Amino acid sequence: MKSNSAIITGGAGFIGSHLTERLLGEGQKVIVLDNFSSGRRENLQHLNKDLSLTIIREDLKKSAQLEQIISQGEIVYHFAANPEVRVGETDPKVHFEENIVATFNLLEAIRHAQAQKVIVFASTSTVYGDASKIPTPENYGPLIPISTYGASKLACEALIMSYAYTFNHRALILRLANIIGPKSNHGVIVDFIKKIMANPNQLEILGDGAQEKSYMHISDCIEAIMHLTNRFLESSKKVDIYNIGSQDKITVKEIARITAKEMGRANIRFDYTGGVDGGRGWKGDVKTMQLSINKLLKTGWKPKYTSKQAVRITTKALLKEHQKR
């Protein structure tokens, strides 16, 4: 089974816009749904003349035409979400509404459309919480997320899987590491660039700098998504789960060094906030994260870039984007 038409929720977002470009490049018809709360129109601007692309401003929290739209696609890539983990500490309702309510409404629209769908869901490494096993495999448990973001994504996973079994759909759950690259508008590299531009002599680093996590370049992420989706479409599985990430990890301190060096501020002073709960950057910040991607590797695919390479390439790309503004 090959898909000829796709719906991408959050298709104007960081990952969603890269996926949109890739699917169009393969000759698929793509309908992008986005409420543009975190997604940006300029992410798709270079694709506006492609007749195979339809962009619809749609809020999954209160959609009136979702059922009609859903009927037009064979596969649904559900990438719409509030991506900012930190907001959960001050406004947890955001993650409940933008992630859980939006997912429920999407699933209800799929159910009412009465056509079997394949759902590809962008989940997250944060569903594992503070995992005691690093690298963390897909069958690790119990899953105890420590942020409302991770909790909301885990709830979405459960809803999607239950709808797949109850209403005869199929679901591919992709648990993503920290994905970085051009067009990203949040995360540690973006924060560091903004801070260094504001103060070239001093860089505030949240936490103790020893936080160590896996980072993956967006090009590798999209390749993995395409590889696993195509593989899933050819299979007969009802539900499958894969980790997607790099094969190593990098500390926040090292990311700060790379960012500062690329900005010509190698001698900048680092000021650590000390953080909370043993050096975390904020409440809900997972201190150490590396996903086991053995299951992915066994399919014959592996990432091109290490975490350090991904950070360096991303920093260069984001700085180039800034210069064009």
Do 63 and 16 fall within a single domain? yes
Our count of domains for the chain comes to 2
Whether the CA torsion 267, 268, 274, 279 is positive or negative: it is: negative
Do 164 and 235 fall within a single domain? yes
pLDDT of residue 85: 64
Q: Is residue 93 part of a domain?
A: yes
pLDDT in tens, 95-136: 999 999 999 999 999 999 888 899 999 999 999 999 999 999
Question: Using CA atoms, how far apart are residues 121 and 175, in angstroms rounded to an integer?
Answer: 8
Of 274 and 210, more confident: 210
Do 133 and 117 fall within a single domain? yes
CA atoms within 13 A on the CB side of 159: 21
CA-angle at 103, arms to 173 and 231, nearest 5° = 25
Question: Using CA atoms, how far apart are residues 111 and 232, in angstroms rounded to an integer?
Answer: 21
User: Residue 252: which CATH number?
Assistant: 3.90.25.10
Q: Which residues have C-beta within 8 Å of that of residue 219, sequence separation ≥ 6?
A: 18, 181, 304, 305
Contact present, 74 and 5 (Cβ < 8 Å): yes
pLDDT of residue 233: 96
pLDDT of residue 313: 97
pLDDT in tens, 169-182: 999 999 999 999 99
The overall average pLDDT reported for the chain is 94
pLDDT of residue 89: 67
| Structure-block tokens of residue 41 | 């129109």
Do 10 and 113 fall within a single domain? yes
Do 131 and 203 fall within a single domain? no
Q: Is residue 175 part of a domain?
A: yes
Question: Using CA atoms, how far apart are residues 216 and 296, in angstroms rounded to an integer?
Answer: 14
pLDDT in tens, 154-173: 999 999 999 999 999 999 99
Q: Which residues have C-beta within 8 Å of that of residue 239, sequence separation ≥ 6?
A: 161, 164, 165, 170, 171, 172, 173
pLDDT of residue 86: 65
pLDDT of residue 88: 56
Q: Is residue 298 part of a domain?
A: no
Do 111 and 220 fall within a single domain? yes
Mean pLDDT confidence for 253-281: 94
- Least confident window among 35-39, 77-81, 143-147, 312-316: 35-39
Do 28 and 87 fall within a single domain? yes
Confidence of residue 38 (pLDDT cuts 50, 70, 90): confident
pLDDT in tens, 39-85: 999 999 999 889 999 999 999 998 778 988 998 989 999 999 987 76
Which residue range forms the structural domain that includes residue 44?
5-179+216-244
pLDDT of residue 64: 78
